[in-house]
Amino acid sequence: MARYTGPKVKLSRRVGVPIADNPKHTSKRALVYPGMHGFRGRRLRDYGLRLNEKQKVRFHYGVLERQFRRVIAAAGRAKGNTGEMLMRLLERRLDNTVRRCGLARTIWAARQMVAHGNVLVNGKKLDRPSSLVDVGDVISVRTKAQKLARESMESLAGHEVPGWIDFNPGELQAKIVALPTSDQIPFDVNPNLIVEFYR
């Protein structure tokens, strides 16, 4: 399974926005003053703007380029606005849903939790981070991983679960009650620029 194993803060710095909720990523110093020589500002052209938007989304969801192209193709085949369909497909990924519930601090921790078989969907183990959740699905955590999930929830005090997920923190159980909408995405993104990048 291919995955990015390099420095994570470097990704936030490259796109200019935090891609994780860690203080490492959200501190202004990490984003604005990289290295010993500081940030050399440069103005992006049309291609650069679209590339930056695409990379921002890719890094945020922890998806590599080849997989991202498959998601773009699936969004193009779906009915409706391609940009909105793209964001809906990415939000519905199992690893992202685990992160949105606050059961893991970052997308990489959520991916590992799923890949290690610690997440159950409708009572069955599902170890594919890219699996899509549907309305009515119930997501829970296996007993052996509940301590880890509770520690993550404590470290993310004040974390808000989006409206499309009904989360019960006592039982560490989440139910998908609706499909995510573009206004429920917790970071600023223009998906139409991403679609234009691939045209």
pLDDT digits (tens, 9 = 90+) for 40-50: 666 778 898 89
CA neighbor of 2 nearest in space, from 118, 129, 126, 117? 129
* pTM of the full structure: 0.86
Tokens representing residue 28 in the block: 């202004």
Q: Would you say residue 46 lies in a domain?
A: yes
Q: What is the DSSP letter of 133?
A: P
Number of domains comprising the chain: 2
Is there a single domain that holds both residue 53 and residue 102?
A: no
| pLDDT top residue among 8 and 84 | 84
Q: How confident is the model at residue 30 (pLDDT cuts 50, 70, 90)?
A: low
Residue 86 and residue 30 share a domain:
yes
Sheet holding 119-121, edge to edge: 124-125, 119-121, 138-141, 173-176, 165-168
Q: Are residues 29 and 85 in the same domain?
A: yes
Task: Please report which confidence band the pLDDT of residue 36 belongs to, taking 50, 70 and 90 as the band edges.
Answer: low
Q: What is the CA radius of gyration of the chain?
A: 17
DSSP state of 18: -
Residue 151 falls within a domain, yes or no? yes
- 175 strand-pairing partners: 138, 166
Asked if residue 126 belongs to a domain, the reply is yes
- Domain extent, residue 73, equals 9-90+186-197
Indicate if the pLDDT at residue 29 is higher than 70: no
22's CB contacts (< 8 A; 6+ apart) are 105, 106
Query: Is the separation of the CB atoms in 193 and 53 below 8 Å?
Result: yes
Same domain? For 138 and 115 the reply is yes
* Residue 99 sits in the same domain as residue 175: yes
Does the residue 62 lie in any domain?
yes
Task: Report pLDDT digits (tens) over 58-100.
Answer: 998 989 999 999 999 999 999 989 999 999 999 999 999 999 9
In a domain, 138, yes or no: yes
Residues 142 and 190 in one domain: no
- Alpha-carbon distance of 126 to 115, in angstroms, equals 8
152 and 78 in one domain?
no
Same domain, 110 and 82: no
Q: How far is Cα 176 from Cα 30, in angstroms, rounded to an integer?
A: 35
4 pLDDT exceeds 60?
A: yes
Residue 136 lies inside a defined structural domain of this protein: yes
The answer to whether residue 97 sits within a structural domain is: yes
Rounded to whole angstroms, the Cα distance separating 34 from 110 reads 27
- Does residue 1 form part of some domain? no
- Whether residue 81 sits in one domain with residue 53: yes
Average pLDDT over residues 20-44: 63
152: CATH: 3.10.290.10
49 and 21 belong to one structural domain: yes
Determine the pLDDT at residue 31.
Answer: 59
23 plus 73 within the same structural domain: yes
Task: List the alpha helices (DSSP H) in the chain.
Answer: 9-15, 23-26, 28-32, 46-61, 65-77, 82-91, 94-101, 107-115, 146-155, 191-197
Query: How many whole angstroms separate alpha carbon 125 and alpha carbon 119?
Result: 6
Residues 58, 132, single domain; the answer is no
CB-CB neighbours of 1 under 10 Å = 7
More confident of the two residues 24 and 112: 112
